[in-house]
């Protein structure tokens, strides 16, 4: 949206985004690039809003004050600090780290400068349309088309969208399992940090809703699942390589000249093995037909 607005000469006084502190390293580099484009084109810098204490403080250390919350925590035997993992019912992160900061700043600009607020919601996201101005939506540009427009102009998020479907916080518990599998493969350092965060959450909040990363999965359980999948894949690849190697080794050698010995059984030629296998297959087929 921003690139098209720059190209067609729309007035832009300020470009705002919010940093949860849990963005991918590629996203920070993307913002740097965007900042340069913005400065070259309009002489302004990207405004990045941040919560003064950040994601981890909110997750583990924010003191709870409401009497009802304190009573609930005491009942559950859970510490009166921190919000734990965000959940469907209490998505504290979006509110505190993004929406609240942006709304506050936008309201200030509207009040002081009579600003218009343009929001990058695409034509295929009609449910997200509220009462701001939505150029992409008005131009009928879908999310996929918007991404392609950026790629065509050399803005590629440093490859993030080629790996992930969504590129918000890398630690988001609402991600699909496959996105987490990709996180482990493509960003092992962030995966290690996620394991550490989840370990802390379990220590502090136990198996209550606040300590659960996903309903049925802790990050450690996912680690075991993904590691087992990797081991299985490697084993299959090795088996494939081995059969390929054996095939290559005997390429061009007549089957009667290849002797195979299995355990203590008398050695046979490959030709004999193949004949026996064929006979076996024929017998099985006959049996199947007679039933």
Query: Shortest Cβ distance from residue 156 to ligand SF4 (Å)?
Result: 21
Query: Shortest Cβ distance from residue 203 to ligand SF4 (Å)?
Result: 20
Note whether 193 binds ligand SF4 by CB under 6 A.
no
Phi, psi of 141 (to 5 degrees): -95, 125
Query: Shortest Cβ distance from residue 204 to ligand SF4 (Å)?
Result: 17
Name which of residues 84 to 113 contact ligand SF4 (CB under 6 A).
86, 91, 93-94, 97-98
Note whether 174 binds ligand SF4 by CB under 6 A.
yes
Nearest by Cα to 14 from 88, 84, 132, 102: 102
- Residue range at the interface with ligand SF4 (CB under 6 A); choices 72-80, 150-158, 167-175, 185-193: 167-175
Among the listed residues 38, 59, 146, 169, the single contact to ligand SF4 using CB under 6 A: 169
Nearer to ligand SF4, 186 or 268 (CB): 186
Nearer to ligand SF4, 30 or 38 (CB): 30
**Residue 269 in contact with residue 260, Cβ under 8 Å?**
yes
- Judged by the rule CB under 6 A, the positions of this chain that interact with ligand SF4 are 20, 86, 91, 93-94, 97-98, 168-169, 172, 174
């Amino acid at each position: 949206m921003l690139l098209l607005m720059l190209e067609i000469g729309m007035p832009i006084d300020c470009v705002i985004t919010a940093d949860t502190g849990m963005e991918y390293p590629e996203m920070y580099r993307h913002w740097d690039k965007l900042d340069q484009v913005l400065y070259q084109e309009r002489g302004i810098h990207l405004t990045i809003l941040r919560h003064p204490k950040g994601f981890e403080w909110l997750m583990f250390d924010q003191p709870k004050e409401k009497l009802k919350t304190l009573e609930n925590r005491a009942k559950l035997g859970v510490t009166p600090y921190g919000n734990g993992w965000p959940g469907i019912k209490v998505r504290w992160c979006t509110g505190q780290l993004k929406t609240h900061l942006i709304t506050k700043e936008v309201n200030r600009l509207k009040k002081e400068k009579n600003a218009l607020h343009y929001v990058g919601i695409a034509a295929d996201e009609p449910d997200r349309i509220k009462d701001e101005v939505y150029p992409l939506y008005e131009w009928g540009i879908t999310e996929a088309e918007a991404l392609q427009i950026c790629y065509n102009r050399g803005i590629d998020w440093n490859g993030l969208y080629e790996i992930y479907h969504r590129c918000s916080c890398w630690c988001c518990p609402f991600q699909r399992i496959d996105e987490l599998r990709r996180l482990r493969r493509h960003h092992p350092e962030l995966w290690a940090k996620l394991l550490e965060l989840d370990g802390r959450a379990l220590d502090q909040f136990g198996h209550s809703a606040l300590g659960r990363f996903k309903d049925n999965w802790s990050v450690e359980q996912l680690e075991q699942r993904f590691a087992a999948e990797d081991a299985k894949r490697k084993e299959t690849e090795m088996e494939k390589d081995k059969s390929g190697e054996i095939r290559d080794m005997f390429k061009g050698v007549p089957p009667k000249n290849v002797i195979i010995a299995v355990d203590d059984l008398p050695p046979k030629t490959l030709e004999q093995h193949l004949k026996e296998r064929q006979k076996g297959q024929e017998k099985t087929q006959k049996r199947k037909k007679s039933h």
